[in-house]
Amino acid sequence: MGKDPAVSLGDLLAKVKSHPDINKAGMILCHNGIVRDFSRSGGKEVRELKVSVDQSRIESVKSWALSQPGIVALEIRAFEGSFTVGEDLLLVVLAGDIRDNVFSVMKELIERIKTECVRKTETFAVL
């Protein structure tokens, strides 16, 4: 899925809230990953970030998350293409029964998306 400015965190939140089992959820946790202006490796200034996404792996990771105890609904949008500082990269909305279940699944979910589903190439500013 490429960049789609028509898809927002609010859209995903509305979709999760309309899930038929949302009455079983006591919490919704949202993640909005954006491009930061420095690299985690070396702290260099980032000018552009190119991202490719394996959507079949996203679906696999989503299936895993939905199979975890207490998880009710999940929406993920991982964008691909070229991005500049501040642009959205990853939107995740996760609903579940209690904080412990939702926080632990969200943490592992984000890590799995970043390591298994997404490839990034940073272009650095010339100093």
pLDDT digit string (tens) for 106-119? Answer: 999 999 999 999 99
Give yes or no for a contact between 45 and 38, defined as CB atoms under 8 angstroms apart. Answer: yes
pLDDT at residue number 23: 98
pLDDT at residue number 6: 75
pLDDT digits 0-9 by tens, 47-106: 899 999 999 999 999 999 999 999 999 999 999 999 999 999 999 999 999 999 999 999
Cα–Cα distance for residue pair 100/98, rounded to 1 Å: 6
pLDDT at residue number 4: 61
The residue to which tokens 């926080």 are assigned: 103
CATH number of 9-124: 3.90.1170.40
* pLDDT at residue 127 is higher than 70: no
Question: Domain residues of the chain, as ranges?
Answer: 9-124
User: Beta strands 27-34 and 88-96: pairing type?
Assistant: antiparallel
pLDDT at residue number 116: 97
Handedness of CA 35, 93, 108, 53 (dihedral sign): negative
pLDDT band at 1 (very low <50, low <70, confident <90, very high): very low
pTM summary value: 0.91
* pLDDT at residue 16 is higher than 60: yes
